[in-house]
Amino acid sequence: MREISPLDGRYADQVSRLGEYFSEHALMQARCDVELAYLLALDETKLLPRLSAAERGRVEAARGTLADAAFARIKEIERATQHDVKACELFLREKLALAHPNLIHFGLTSEDATNLAYGLLLSRYRSSEQLPQLRRIVTALADLAERWSAAVFPARTHGQPASPTTFGKEIAVFVSRLVRQGRQLDAFRFRGKFAGATGTHAALAAAFPTYDWIAFAERFVASLGLEFVACSTQIDDGDGLAEYFGIVTRQNGILLDLNLDLWEYISRGDVVQAAVSGEVGSSTMPHKVNPIHFENSEGNLVLSTAMLHALSDKLTHSRMQRDLSDSSVKRSIGVALAHAYLAGEQTLKGLGRVSLDEGAARAHVETAPETLTEGYQTILRAAGVEDPYEKLRAAARGRSLGLAELHAWVETLDLAPDVRRRLLGLRPTEYVGVASDIARRAVADARQWLRAAG
């Protein structure tokens, strides 16, 4: 079979293992796991015929495992029933051979099993793949920020020369932004609905009117590591998923900003890439070393974010108690997240190849001494000079001034000797404020977050 998606073809070596969370096989296994966990929890209520020791053993052994042959059998049943969750139920009846097979899927609706299955899969993905990747990205950036914390770097606002900074501080901005989202991702809990066909527990309450099914449902959902949704229709409202997608979208946006900035820095020559032996940058221009990993990441981030926005919009809307459109849409959650994951891997590859060209960066800073006018007018304000901003604007706006011209302008002012010395002593390469301290603080905060993760 030929692949349709590049995720399953060109990029399979980087994302194929995500099939453990996002494939049809994984979804069916998670649904079966929910059904099996529910069967054991229902048995503990002692409301129905109890499972024998042998039956409980078969139930426990079936959890977390779904062989290829078993998955194929579920799909075979589904082709006849045209219902995926019913196929899981009938498969479990065959596999478990219970004395009382009606215990399986007792009082449930298919969405009870399905939404909890997605919660399990996304929780596992977040913990096993998504957060570890984010920590690797933060570690790589923190290392760069720490190494270059004091290295002077040209800044541009509106594309024009601005007060210089340090390369480490500029990278630390992304460190700080990603750590903030990482903490939110750490704290996020996926939600779970478990309340029957229209969210009323009607079937279970009809069978056992005096039993506290709300408390049972809350305990059961919590046992799966999910946050209990107490009030719902047949389906989970999707708000929790939208909140999660919001975190991922913000992370995508931060990485996109990083990719774009590094691309620009490479283009300007302030940042350089290591050439890898054997690689080709152009089919016709032998000299080229292209920022392909940042560009590839950019493209995948755009795709991921567009899909996540669409998912957030669709999954928070349903006709009355439910319609089936969400089921089709949910099957693409993995595609959206896989594009984000692929983007992260590409950014990491790019980060592994970049380095600051200190000489080039310093030279670019030195060629724009007009950026010192900010410091000049601030020192003059503090010294009580009347409206120094306007004086400097008239002298410098739209002009490229050298240090000699700036110093000549200073000499025209009636200033105290210490103020004059401070102005004449300013140099663009030293006009970076406390940038290195800011970078080090951001790195220290990131290291703390990374240590907390173990």
Q: Which helix (H) or strand (E) holds 67?
A: none
Torsion of CA 378, 382, 383, 387, to 10 degrees: 60
* Tally of CA atoms within 13 A in the half-sphere of 77 that contains its CB: 19
Write the DSSP assignment of 220-271 as a string of letters. Answer: HHHHTT-EEE-S-SSS--SHHHHHHHHHHHHHHHHHHHHHHHHHHHHHHTSE
Q: How far apart are CA 109 and CA 201, in angstroms?
A: 10
| E-state strands within 120-212 | 152-157, 160-166, 191-193
> What single-letter amino acid sits at 56?
R
- Pick the closest to residue 120 from 62, 189, 199, 185 (CA basis): 189
364 catalytic per annotation: no
- Pick the closest to residue 64 from 100, 28, 88, 90 (CA basis): 28
Tell me if 326 sits within 8 A of 317, measured CB to CB: no
Tell me if 191 sits within 8 A of 119, measured CB to CB: yes
- Catalytically annotated residue among 52, 223, 267, 282: 282
Q: How far apart are CA 194 and CA 219, in angstroms?
A: 11
- Catalytically annotated residue among 158, 277, 287, 328: 158
Which token pair is 99?
A: 């004395």
Q: How far apart are CA 148 and CA 85, in angstroms?
A: 55
Q: How far apart are CA 435 and CA 430, in angstroms?
A: 11
Which token pair is 259?
A: 């990719």
Q: Kindly give, in sequence order, each residue whose CB lies less than 8 Å from that of residue 408, ignoring residues fewer than 6 positions away.
A: none
25 catalytic per annotation: no
Q: Hey, which residues are catalytic here?
A: 158, 282
